[in-house]
Structure 1
Amino acid sequence: MRYYEDLTVGETASFGHYPVTREEVLDFARRYDPQPFHLSDEGAAGTHFGKLAASGWHSCAMTMAMLVEHMKDVPTAGMGAGGIDELRWMKPVYPGDTLRCQTELLEKRISASKPDRGFTRSRMTVFNQHEEPVMSFIANALIRVRGDGDRAPAA
């Protein structure tokens, strides 16, 4: 388990492999973002997308799925999140793309009012299979400080 003390500003991680399917793009769009360019190639033809494109909100959801999967491999004492800042959709995501994530810890600090937890800010960048960044944001998260009973043995 990784706690606040185990995190180092500047550390990076790359993870995820998410194949974007046409069926999933259409299903998400029908349910949550039914704009023409997310519903058909014809609806997207006259737009800057040129063809069916995933909703940016769908890109966020796919990123969250990759993040949760990554947390299974690298357990962290997370306590939830306080939101995101600076969300940018930089390039369209299309059916047939494969996404991956890269994160960098930008800063961390202990809570002044609740010293059992710390705050972190990390930049998340999502890339397509051509290594082009398609989305980025700053994630604000809470992470537990290691308690006395959880301390790693001294080396």
Structure 2
Amino acid sequence: MTGIQMSDEVAITAQSDQLYLDDLHVGQRFTTGTYRLDEAQIKSFGLQFDPQPFHTDEHAAERTFFKGLAASGWHTAAITMRLNVESGPPLAGGFVGAGGEVSWPAPARPGDVLHVESEVVEVTPSRSRPERGTIVLLSRTINQRGDVVLVQKAKLVVLRKVAA
């Protein structure tokens, strides 16, 4: 994994720094570290959670829609979550989901090195709960070739500084 990279005039010096709703604004961007995906991980996740031949058997996978072994979309989503939690925006209170959308424009494959690029697209303080609000974070999981393998639009609950 590599460290946190941020743009848009906000500098974070350590992972222990936390961002509250009051620190976030539309257009703010984050880039995570990287995660290397291998064949054993793809097969293990597939056997456990998505036992389809294109996730579990490289030879059978050749004769499928994917024309080769591909990570389950849910495996890619789990990697996205891990990357965001470990080296994405350090949200006060953690990544607390309140809904969202996900799509998989291309499959993740063995040997892919994935990272996540995210942008805050909405910030909304709660009217009824002054201690929190929500953001919408648009994340793209990208491999080493620049292929987007997952797009996620997540509505997240974020604490406000007034609650701290």
CA RMSD of aligned residues (A): 1.4
The TM-score normalised by the length of structure 1 is 0.88
Alignment partner, residue 2 of structure 1: 19
Alignment partner, residue 112 of structure 2: 97
Of 91, 100, 104 in structure 2, the residue corresponding to residue 76 of structure 1 is 91
Alignment partner, residue 143 of structure 1: 158
1: CA distance between counterparts of 2:93 and 2:100? 15
- The answer on whether the counterparts of 2:130 and 2:162 sit within 8 Å (CA) in structure 1 is no
1:41-120 to structure 2, matched below 5 A, reads 41-70=58-87, 75-78=90-93, 80-85=96-101, 87-120=102-135
Q: Does 1:126 find its partner at 2:157?
A: no
Which ranges in structure 1 are unaligned for 5 or more consecutive residues? 151-155
2: CA distance between counterparts of 1:43 and 1:62? 24
Secondary structure in structure 1 of the residue aligned to 2:68: coil
Alignment partner, residue 153 of structure 1: none
Secondary structure in structure 1 of the residue aligned to 2:161: coil
- The answer on whether the counterparts of 1:78 and 1:141 sit within 8 Å (CA) in structure 2 is no
2: CA distance between counterparts of 1:89 and 1:95? 16
Give the Å deviation of 1:100.
Answer: 0.5
Give the Å deviation of 1:2.
Answer: 1.5
For residues 65-117 of structure 1, the C-alpha deviation after alignment (integer angstroms, 9 at most, x for no partner) is: 1111115xx532135211222x1101011111110000000001111221110
- List structure 1 segments (4+ residues) > 6 angstroms apart after TM superposition: none
Alignment partner, residue 13 of structure 2: none
Which ranges in structure 2 are unaligned for 5 or more consecutive residues? 1-17
Give the Å deviation of 1:58.
Answer: 0.3
Give the Å deviation of 1:16.
Answer: 2.1
Q: Does 1:31 find its partner at 2:52?
A: no
One-letter amino acid matched to 1:96? G
Secondary structure in structure 2 of the residue aligned to 1:83: strand
